[in-house]
Amino acid sequence: MMRAGLYYGSGDVRPVELPVPEIGAGEVLVSVNACGICGSDTMAWYRDPSAKKQGGINTGHEITGEIVKVGEKIQGRFHVGQRVIVTHHFPCLKCERCLAGEETTCSTMHAKHIAPGGFAQYVRVFETGLDLGLYPLPESMTFESGTFVEPLGCVVRSMRKSAPIEGRSVLVVGSGLAGLLHIRLAKAMGASRIIAVDTNQGRLDAALKSGADEGVLSSASLPKADNVYVCTSAPSATRTALDAVNPGGCVMVFAADGPNKEISVPVTRFWLEQQRILFAYGAAPRDMQEAIDWIASGRVRVDDLVTHRFTLDQIGEAFDLATNPRDMSLKVLVEPQRT
């Protein structure tokens, strides 16, 4: 048996006992060293329907660990003791959407290729997940740093879609983890000026340490920028972004504000000033690989963003902190092998 953490609903995340997964001839078993709690893990509107339908779900997907068992069909491709990054979903890379560069809109994107999930001591990686969902963890990266590959991959995609970045001014609305990763990547990509916006001065201080040139409280009058990134689900954030983008600029909506939410767009102004409104969801394999390169090379630092670490027995407390950030919490990690 092994320990795992299951999400039953908002405010109800519990440690349970599950059988250690059995693997098939074309699969691998990974001992999970660390798994980050993603913002999407804590969104009740996004998770509760599945949790209620399935009687509890394991949402962990920012996974690093070590292979402990390899199926007989794939020996030679992977080996016991290999340090890896595991991702839960990916596109087919063959359909029209994928070939057009819109991989994360692929209809296969939401298929799950692991069981049960990263909030467990062991995770089974299906044969379908070996080619596009299992990445060697570079020797220069710790298990902790590796948990940032998936979230940074999502930011890589956001930056890719909103390019160019070099030489342009950037404004990031929301200085939580997603905002800080946008700031750090924009800095590494050569943005000319980076402005961070948040309601919390402590988070603005973290943004300045991450490379922002200026931190502005959201209650203040905001400067304008070429590229504006919405990195918080606060209802007013997208409205703020629409008002803060320069002519010819881009508003990137990176965070969602629940189902069926709508905003009013000043269509005539956007028509005259030729701004773009774009959306970024998830990470494709090319985004994941680029994120690995950014972190492994040291050009985007992530190790200082981990503020809290919990065991599986503390998973309820970990989710509570991730859902209701306090004490300047940024990245909350679960360490399944630690007791």
Whether residues 106 and 179 fall in one domain: no
Distance CA 41, CA 294 (A): 25
Whether residues 190 and 271 fall in one domain: yes
- State how far the alpha carbon of 284 is from the alpha carbons of 59, 103, 107, 132, in Å: 19, 6, 13, 9
Distance CA 234, CA 26 (A): 44
Interior/surface letters 181-218, b for 16+ CB within 10 angstroms, e for the rest: bbbbbbbbbebebbbbbbeeeebbbbbbebbbbebbeb
* Mean pLDDT, contiguous 10-residue spans, the chain (339 residues): 96 97 98 96 92 94 98 94 96 96 94 96 96 96 98 98 98 97 98 96 96 92 95 89 97 89 91 97 97 98 97 97 88 96
Whether residues 20 and 113 fall in one domain: yes
Whether residues 24 and 70 fall in one domain: yes
Domain count, the chain: 2
Single pTM value for the model: 0.96
Whether residues 169 and 143 fall in one domain: no
Q: Of 238, 261, 279, at which residue does a domain stop? A: 279
Cis peptide, bond prior to residue 21, ω within 30 of zero = no
**pLDDT of amino acid 170:** 98
Give me the CATH number covering residue 136: 3.90.180.10
Residue 108: inside a domain: yes
**pLDDT of amino acid 236:** 87
Whether residues 111 and 172 fall in one domain: no
Whether residues 271 and 300 fall in one domain: no
Q: Of 241, 257, 279, at which residue does a domain stop? A: 279
Can you list the alpha helix ranges (DSSP code H) found in the chain?
Answer: 44-54, 96-99, 130-133, 143-146, 149-161, 177-188, 201-209, 235-244, 267-273, 285-296, 315-323
Number of Cβ atoms within 10 Å of the Cβ of 275: 20
Residue 253: inside a domain: yes
Whether residues 21 and 132 fall in one domain: yes
**Domain assignment of residue 179, given as a range:** 163-279
Whether residues 116 and 35 fall in one domain: yes
Taking Cα atoms as reference points, which of 305, 311, 296, 299 lies closest to residue 329? 305
Residue 101: inside a domain: yes
**pLDDT of amino acid 202:** 92
Residue 117 · residue 51 · CB < 8 Å:
no
Distance CA 167, CA 33 (A): 39
pLDDT in tens, 272-285: 999 999 999 999 99
Residue 8: inside a domain: yes
Distance CA 302, CA 177 (A): 10
**pLDDT of amino acid 301:** 98
Residue 112 · residue 10 · CB < 8 Å:
no
**pLDDT of amino acid 220:** 77
**pLDDT of amino acid 258:** 81
Whether residues 142 and 18 fall in one domain: yes
**pLDDT of amino acid 261:** 80
Residue 111: inside a domain: yes
Distance CA 28, CA 71 (A): 6
**pLDDT of amino acid 263:** 85
Whether residues 120 and 219 fall in one domain: no
Residue 317: inside a domain: yes
pLDDT in tens, 196-232: 999 999 999 999 999 999 999 988 788 999 999 999 9
Residue 158: inside a domain: no
Whether residues 275 and 290 fall in one domain: no
Q: Of 279, 298, 325, at which residue does a domain stop? A: 279
Give me the CATH number covering residue 218: 3.40.50.720
Residue 339: inside a domain: no
Identify the DSSP state of 50: H
